Structure formats: structure tokens, C-alpha cells
Amino acid sequence: MFGAENVIVVDLGYGDAGKGTVVDHLCAASPVHAVVRFNGGAQAAHNVVAVDGRHHTFAQFGSGTFTPGVRTHLSRFVLVDPLALAAEADHLRRIGVGDALDRLTVDGDALLTTPYHRAAGRARERARGADRHGSCGMGVGETAAYALAHEDAPRAGDCRSPARLRRRLAAVRDRYRDAFPGAAEDVPDVDDCVAAFTAFGERVRVVGGGHMRTLLAGGPVVFEGAQGVLLDEWHGFHPYTTWSTTTFGNAEALLREAGGGAARLGVVRAYATRHGPGPFVTEDAALTRGLPEPHNGTGPWQGPFRAGHLDAVALRYAREVTGGMDGVAVTHLDVAGARPDLRVCRAYRIGDATVRRLAPNPAGRLDLQEDLTRRLLAARPVYAPLGRPEEAVEEAAGAPVVLRSFGPTAADKRVAAAV
């Protein structure tokens, strides 16, 4: 799409905009050496449908894996779940991609998500009752929180050292038992976890931080983000956020260290969606009913999948907190073409005020983000006719639409003539 450049792909909304299908297109359309995951963990759900009809929900493997030869690298910013990764590799093998693990590298500094993290995260979410934050139930937030409090948090490199791995896994298990003594969820023995994680360490290639230079030297790299900017740990609408930096920041840190650069590509739907609770100013129950998701639905942890109208105010906010982008991919244009009732939100009404801009807050001020959340929960949309979605997106994002998607496969993509 951007010639022979490296590309960073970031969702400008609440996630589920179609990052996976965009990455799949990038890898299928031109030579790409590797896909680098730079945030999140096994809770990512990037649905890719191949031209021949095969479908896979990419969680940890890069969404370019259907293209032969494209490698996946899990950077130090990814929270790696070896058990979920093995299950994902098994599904890929069943649909004809038998070498996914052979094309995988993992940074030894990447944190490990364990069954104990997963159980603790679910117990914590259950304890919130009606005030759930919308966890995916995969233990990603618990993994990040544990690492902030414990220097000996298990990492991918520990899978090569069984004794150290056992000590660290036992510490996570003990903390789970102490924090939730009445939790009903069964968890495996530490010895069983050690055996599984050690097998993971023997099967995949665990590398050091210098591996990024090797990847960049091999050819163009696509950096694939997870979740969306409006869920960012610092810039999202707290507390309905993820424990992850969802902007371009992590990818650009990796590139700086390796002496490389990349084009910034934002991804947005022609209409808005959100999976789980939290502010969603343009939510429309009629759209939720009328736009079913074949690969997204109500989950036991996230809750319902919600749909609404394109939100130019939120898109401008995403533009500001990311520092802008070089281009935008707009997905689900086939849906927009069949729905003349779709609109665009140009402003919010909050009390007696009309709000056209959400001012970014200083990083680290979660109290200010929580105050913003309260305001958004009371906001009402000010709509205008949508017209051509691409024009509304370009105006709000401040960048040209360089890719249009009219369906789930790489064949359904249209590249702007000038690109």
C-alpha cells in the first residue's frame, strides 16, 4: 500500500475495525517479510477470511500468516500465552497452515500470561458485579498488573530455564490463591505448567531485542496493533480500557531501537462498534440489531457487541492522541453502501454545551480520563447525513483514505489510485 515501506497498523476506535483483514491484504498484495505484534496478548481477535473461504481469528500470530513465508514476531510489548498460542497453531494447522510455529519468533523479555493470571482476572471481574470493565477473560490485564508489582514476573526467556520458571510460576499461583481464597476456578498444577511452558520454549525460537534489526534487514515489516486507540491504557476512557498502549508508540520505539522507520496507517469502520461496556456516544440499538457480526457476538466476559454511527469527534480525538497518521483504511464500506440510514456525529451535546473537540489529557492522569468518561456517558450525539464515509473519515482523521475495504477478503480491497 505504501510501496516498499514498513507500515504500522493501528485501530482508531474501540477495536474490531478490521486490522486483521488490512494486515492480511498488505501481506498478500506485496512482499512482506514479517508481521510484528507490538501490544496486547491472547485477547486480540483479528478475523481474517481467505479468498478460498478459510477463516481464522488471529490472536497472537500475525494476521499475514495465510501468506506463505510471512513471519510473526512477538515483541517484548506482547503478553504471550503459550497455551493459547498452541491452540491457535493447532487451528491454523487444521485449516492448512502447518508451519506457523516455524515462522514464529518471541522476544525473551515478553511477559508470560499463565492460567493463574487468567483465573485471577476472571475472579476480579466477577467481583465487580454490575460494574464490570469489559475484560476479555484472558488474563492480560492481570499479567500486566502483576509485572508492575513483581520484578520476577515470568517472561518468555524463562521457558528455557525450568528451575527459574517453576519458582516464578509458583509465585503467581500463590498470589492468586492469597488474593482469591474462595475462587471456584480450577487451575493446573505448577509442574504441569512448567512442562507445557518448557515445551513451548523448546518449540519456538526465543530471541533477544536485537532481532528487530534482522527482521528489518529481511524486507518490509508490518507492525500489527491490537485493540484500539479509544481503549488505550492512558488515553482511553478509563476504567473501560485495556492494560496496553494501543497507539503507534510501542511500534515506533522498536523501530527507533533498530534504526528504522515506518508509515502510520489508521483503520476505521464506516460505522462505529464497541464490544463490551463503556461510553459509546453514537450507539444505536437499531444498528446493533440490523448489523449482525458473523465473528463477534455476546461473550461471557466482554458482554454484547454494540453498533452505532460514525463518530467524527472520537476520530478527531484519536488523531490528536496519536499525533496523526499518513493514511487511513476504511472498512465495511459494503455495509455502508447498503445502509442509507447511517449518519455521522459531528458534535456532542453535554448538558447545555455543544462539544466538538475532546482535549487530550496529560499522560498518566487517569483521574482526568475518568472524569472524561463520566462526561461521555452523559453525552448525546449531534448528527449529520453520512454521505460518502471516506470524506467524513478524511476530514476527521486529517489524512487521506488510502485503502477501501468492501468485504472480508484481500480481494475485497481497493487501493487509492494515487498511492
Q: 70-84 as b/e, with b when 16 or more CB fall inside 10 Å?
A: bbbbbbbbbbbbbbb
Output the nine-digit C-alpha cell for 287: 444498528
Number of alpha carbons in the 13 Å side-chain half-sphere of residue 67: 24
Q: How many helices (H) and strands (E) does the chain have?
A: 13, 18
Rg (CA), the chain: 21
162 exposed, middle or buried (CB, 10 Å; 0-12, 13-18, 19+)?
A: middle
What is the C-alpha to C-alpha distance for residues 153 and 24, in angstroms, rounded to an integer?
33
- Give the single-character DSSP code of 33: -
Catalytic residue among 11, 25, 33, 46: 46
What is the C-alpha to C-alpha distance for residues 40 and 244, in angstroms, rounded to an integer?
6
What is the C-alpha to C-alpha distance for residues 240 and 298, in angstroms, rounded to an integer?
17
Asked if omega into 389 is within 30° of 0 (cis), the reply is no
Strand pairing of 7-11 and 221-224? parallel
Cβ-defined contacts of 410-419 (< 8 Å, 24+): 410/21, 410/24, 410/25, 410/28, 410/29, 410/50, 410/51, 411/51, 412/334, 413/21, 413/22, 413/25, 413/29, 415/1, 415/29, 419/1, 419/2, 419/327
Catalytic residue among 16, 24, 107, 158: 16
What is the C-alpha to C-alpha distance for residues 168 and 170, in angstroms, rounded to an integer?
5
Beta-carbon contacts of residue 370 (< 8 Å; ≥ 6 apart): 238, 239
- Known catalytic residue: 16? yes
Longest Cα separation, the chain: 63
Specify whether the CB–CB gap between 246 and 227 falls below 8 A.
Answer: yes
What is the C-alpha to C-alpha distance for residues 105 and 199, in angstroms, rounded to an integer?
15
Catalytic machinery residues? 16, 46
